[in-house]
Amino acid sequence: MKGNVICKISIDVLMGIVIICLMGRHLWGEAVHQRLGIFLAAILIAHNFQHLRWYRNLAKGRYSAQRIIALAVTALSLAALVALVFSGLAMSNAFGPLGGWGLSILARKLHILGAYWGFPLISLHLGSNWNAFICLASKRLGHPKRPKAFQIATFVSSLAVSAYGIHVFLKRDFISYMFLKSDFVFFDFGEPKLNFILEYLSIMILCVFIAHYGSKIMIKVSRKKGKGDGEAVTDGADRPRRMAALSGP
């Protein structure tokens, strides 16, 4: 596994950590929240810069169902993050006071949309690259071929956590915020930080589970139909990957 792939994976993991922390503004305080937002913007720029090759390959190859879904998730994730960053800057008066322009309410709504759509979308995006994480971890541990028992245990445990993630998703009222049924986000300022992190991590694992195993099912269905999933391209790994159908930037 080449160093640039490790760097890409590290940035993806870092982005996931920062996103979770940003969702807990009430736990860290406004100053930390704003600094994390700026850090997220820097990560976003670095992440896209590393994947310039992916953008150049957009017009190449066949657009299978997998690739179309991956592209949609990637585009929506990027849109959500951009909305999140710019609305956050607007609310922090980085562009000057908004009150006179009547844009403060719009910025707040855009920030809620960016956060509560961005979190699951970014998690789905991470899940689409999960096979690269697994391959890297397996090689680092000296076990390129994972035992069947390990794969089963991993599936069962991730399924259990994902089931809890559904419960947390509903408990945290994600759907209401995703569709702007409320103009304000209600926080529990007294909840333990560890509890918050674990609950949001369960939602992230749920999305990773959906993307990772969903992609596997689509590949199997595609192979059975004899269509394959597109041309093989390399993304910096030591072996070709299939069309980067679920990778994206």
pLDDT tens-digit readout, 164-219:
999 999 999 999 999 999 878 888 899 999 999 999 999 999 999 999 888 888 88
Question: Are 205 and 168 a contacting pair, CB within 8 Å?
Answer: no
Task: Note whether residue 218 is domain-resident.
Answer: yes
> Looking up tokens 């990560």, which residue turns up?
43
Question: Are 37 and 114 a contacting pair, CB within 8 Å?
Answer: no
Indicate the pLDDT class of residue 140, thresholds 50, 70 and 90.
Answer: low
Task: Note whether residue 33 is domain-resident.
Answer: yes
Task: Identify the domain containing residue 18 by its residue range.
Answer: 3-242
Task: Note whether residue 137 is domain-resident.
Answer: yes
pLDDT tens-digit readout, 14-41:
888 999 999 999 999 988 998 998 899 8
Task: Note whether residue 111 is domain-resident.
Answer: yes
| Helix and strand totals (H; E) in the chain | 10, 2
What tokens does 43 get?
Answer: 């990560």
Task: Note whether residue 247 is domain-resident.
Answer: no
Question: Are 235 and 244 a contacting pair, CB within 8 Å?
Answer: yes
Task: Note whether residue 249 is domain-resident.
Answer: no
Task: Note whether residue 248 is domain-resident.
Answer: no
Task: Note whether residue 201 is domain-resident.
Answer: yes
This prediction's pTM: 0.81
Domain count for the chain, please give it. 1
Q: Is 6 helix (H, G, I), strand (E, B) or coil?
A: helix
